[in-house]
A and B are shown apart, each in its own frame.
Chain A
Amino acid sequence: MSAPAATVPDPAGPVPPLPPGADKAERRARASQSFWTAVVGVPAVFSVLRLGVEAGGELQTTLLLVANVGTVNLLAGFLTTAAQLLSAGLVAVFALGAVLRISVDRMPPGVRRPLFVRWVDTTPAWFAVASFLLALVTWPLLYLPLLVPAFVAAFQLSPERLHEQVVPRALLLGAGFTGYLWLLAPTLLDAWQQRELLAMVLLVVPPVLALFVTGPLPAAVIRPLASVTEAAVLATLVWAALPVISTPVLPLTVTTIESAPGVSEDIRGHVVTVDDVNVVLLQERGGVRYVPVDQVRAQVLCPSEEELPRRQLRIRDFHVEDSLLEGLGRRVRPVHRIDAACRTVDRGPV
C-alpha cells in the first residue's frame, strides 16, 4: 500500500504518514535510486559537457568531436582526469554519512535521517571500499593522509578495536606514528625549510585526527552538520568540476607541417582524427584545421601547463603532487624529455 503523497516526494517537507515498513522500504529505494543516478549520471553528463567546452563552444566543432570521440574513449578520458574528483566526492559522502549515521542511530526513532546517511544505508560495503581504493591510487600523495580519518570514519574503526587493553593499544599506535614520521621525516624537513606550512599540516595532522573521528556527535551538531556538509560537498563538487569540464578530452600535440618547400609551421592542438587524406586538428587557440597528410613532417606529444608542479617536495623521491599511480608510472618510464616543439607557441609559416 502506498499513499499518493509518497510517490511525489518533497525532501524538505514533513514525513508523510505511512506505515513504518512501507515508509522505510520506500525511502531506501529512493535513496538508492538517487545515489546510483548521481554516480552514473554525473560522469555521463560531464563527459558530454566537456565536449562542448573542448570544441570552444562551437556547435559544428562539438558535432565533429561527437562524431569522432567514441563513448568508451570519452568515458575512459573522463575517468582518467576526473577519478580524483569522483573518488573525493564518494569518500566525503561515505565518511560523513557514517559519522552522521552512528550519531542518528543513537537518537530517538522518528528523526529524519540525513541524505548522506540514507545513501550510506543503501550502498554496499564493497562500493565504499572500492571508492577508497580509487582515492588511494589517484589522489596526490600530499592529500593521502586525509584518507586516514575519512576511512576510519567511514568504517567507524575506533582505536579500541586495535587492542582491548590501553597499553598495547598505545604501543601499537605509537609504533604506527613513529613509522609514519620516519617515512615523512625528510619531506617534513624540506617543507619546513621551504616554509610550506600547509603541506606540513596536511601530512602530519590527519592521522592524529583519525584517533578521535569515530563515535557519535552531540545531538545539537547533527542537523547543522548534515545540512552544511551536504551543501558544501555539492558546492565543492560543482566548483571542482569546472576545471574538470575544461580539461581536454584529446591529447595535446604539436604538429609540424610543411605547406610549401622550406615553409614550415607548428600547429599546437589536439588531433581529432586522421584519415587517408587529412589530419584533423583542433587548434589550441581555437578552430579546426584540415591538414593534408603528406604535409605533416613531425608530431610530438606535449604536456599542458596545468601539469606544472606547484611544490618542490618529495616523499622518498615520489613528488607530493603525484598520485601513487603516477609515481609508479614515472619509475617505469623515468626519463621524460620535453620536446623542443612543445615550447613553441602557435606561429605562422616560417
Chain B
Amino acid sequence: MNEVPPRHRLRSVATTLAVALTLTLAAAAGCDNRREPSLPSVLDKLRESHVDGQPRIKIGVATTEPLMGELRNGAHTGFDVEIARYIASSLGFEGDQRIEWVTLSTEDRIPALQAGTVDLVVSSFSITEERKKLVSFAGPYFVTTQEVMVPTRLKDRIRTIEDLREPGYRICTSGGSTTEAELEKHQVKAYVVKDVGDCVEGIRKGRFDAVSSDETILAGFLSRYPTEFEIVDMPFGTSEQLGIGVPIGDPALRDLVAFFLHKSYLEGRNGISSPWLSAYNRTLGPWLKGGRSQPQPLDVPKLVDFDDKAPRR
C-alpha cells in the first residue's frame, strides 16, 4: 500500500470540507431563494384594508376652501384634493371615476370616518391627541400655523392677540376646528360658524371683523380676494400638523397612506419632483410666504413594493 504523506492527507480533508461547505451553502441559497419576504408587501396591506375590492374609494374633502379643497365648475381642486388623488391612485383608484368625493364640513370629518361614510378624509385635518382617540392619522403632509385674516380697512388696527380680545372686534372661526380651541386658550371670544368660508362672507357683509384659521385655508381666501384682505402674522405659538384621517379600525389603510406619503417625501428629498411638490406648486405655492417642503411623515411602516430594487442614485 502507498503511504499518503500527511500534507496530502490534510489537503484532501480540506478539499472535502470545502466541497461539503460549498454544497451546504448552495443548498442554503436554494432554500433562501424560495423564502417568502419577511416584511409585508403593499399588496398584503391592501388585501387587509377595507378598501380592497371596493369599486370606488370615498374621500371626504372640503369644497369651500380655495387652494385646499374647492369645487370649481363641477371639478374638485386644491392641495388637499391633489394629495387625495395621489393617495387614491397609489391605492389602485386611478382617476376621478374611481373616487367618490364626499363633501364634508369641518365638524363632520370625524363622524363621517366613524360612520364609514368616507374611507379617508383629506381636508385640512389637524393631527391632535384628542382626535387620535377617535380616528387614525397618516402624515403629517403639511405643517401650518394659525393666523388671522383681516379686511384691508382693519389691517393697521388688528395686529396682536390683545387686539383680538377687544370687545369691539367680532372674531370668527369654524366650529370643531383646532383654531376654536386655540382662541379659547388665549381668551379670545369668537363667533363660531360652520366653515371658514362663512366667516369670510360674513366679513365682506360687515358681520365680522376678522377670521382666524390655518394659514393654508386663509391663503386660499386671500387668493380669491387679494385686494380685500390681508393675513396678519400672530404668535399663537402652535403649529398644526395636517394629516390624512383614516378610520381607527383600519390600521392597514393607515399604514398604506403613511407609506405612500413617505414615498413622495423620499422622492422630494432626492431632488426628484414628487407628487407632493407638484400639488403644492400648482395650488398653495404662489400664495404662501417662503418655500415649503414636505414634512417627514411619522410612524411609517416598512413595506415591500415592486420598485424597491430601483436604483437610488
Contacts and interface: CB of A to CB of B under 8 A. Distances in A.
A229 interface: yes
A216 B5 CA distance: 14
Contacts of B27: 232, 236
B37 A309 contact: yes
A344 B92 contact: yes
User: Which 10 A-B pairs rank lowest in CB-CB distance, beginning with the nearest?
Assistant: A343-B92, A340-B94, A212-B18, A319-B309, A350-B55, A344-B92, A213-B18, A212-B14, A340-B89, A303-B306
A265 to B, nearest CB: 10
Contact of B93 (A264, A340, A345): A340
Interface in A83-112: 92, 95-96, 99
Contact of B304 (A243, A308, A322, A335): A308
13 contacts: A140-B33, A146-B29, A198-B28, A202-B25, A213-B15, A225-B19, A309-B309, A319-B308, A326-B309, A334-B311, A336-B306, A336-B310, A341-B92
Nearest to A266: B92
A335 B53 CA distance: 28
Contacts of B93: 340, 344
Contacts of B184: none
Q: Which of B17, B27, B33, B312 has the most CB of A within 10 A?
A: B33
A308 B306 contact: yes
Interface in B281-313: 302, 304-313
Interface in B211-253: none
Interface of B: 9, 11-19, 21-23, 25-30, 32-39, 41-43, 46, 52-53, 55-56, 89-94, 97-98, 302, 304-313
A317 B313 contact: yes
Contact of B12 (A218, A243, A335, A345): A218
A217 B15 CA distance: 6
A25 interface: no
Interface in A159-216: 198, 201-202, 205-206, 209-216
Given A317-B312, A338-B306, A344-B92, A149 B12 contact: no
A326 B13 CA distance: 39
A240 B32 CA distance: 12
A245 interface: no
A92 B38 contact: no
Contacts of A221: 16
Contacts of A149: 18, 22
A201 B311 CA distance: 25
Interface string A216-253: 11100100010001001000100110010000000000
A198 B15 contact: no
A286 B39 CA distance: 29
Contacts of A243: 34
Contacts, number: 146
Q: Which of B26, B53, B94, B302 has the most CB of A within 10 A?
A: B26
A31 interface: no
Contacts of B16: 217-218, 221
A275 interface: no
Contact of A153 (B9, B19, B306): B19
Contacts of B312: 314, 317
A4 to B, nearest CB: 39
A152 B94 CA distance: 53
A305 B21 contact: no
A202 B27 CA distance: 11
A99 B37 contact: no
A283 to B, nearest CB: 16
Given A146-B25, A308-B306, A340 B15 contact: no
B22 A206 contact: yes
Interface string A311-350: 0101001110110001000110011111111111101001
A212 B37 contact: no
Contact of A322 (B28, B36, B309): B309
A146 B22 contact: yes
A307 interface: yes
Contacts of B25: 146, 201-202, 205-206, 209
B90 to A, nearest CB: 7
A335 B52 CA distance: 27
A235 B76 CA distance: 60
A143 interface: yes
A229 B23 contact: yes
A45 to B, nearest CB: 21
A337 B46 contact: no
Given A202-B29, A264-B97, A308-B37, A212 B311 contact: no
A282 interface: no
A150 interface: yes
Contacts of A331: 311
B30 A213 contact: no
Contact of B94 (A150, A214, A322, A341): A341
Nearest to A345: B53
Given A305-B43, A347-B53, A310 B306 contact: no
Contacts of B35: 310
Contacts of B33: 140, 143, 240
Interface in A259-273: 264
A130 B12 CA distance: 29
A149 B23 CA distance: 10
A20 to B, nearest CB: 24
B61 to A, nearest CB: 19
Nearest to A95: B22
A186 to B, nearest CB: 12
Given A310-B35, A350-B56, A321 B22 contact: no
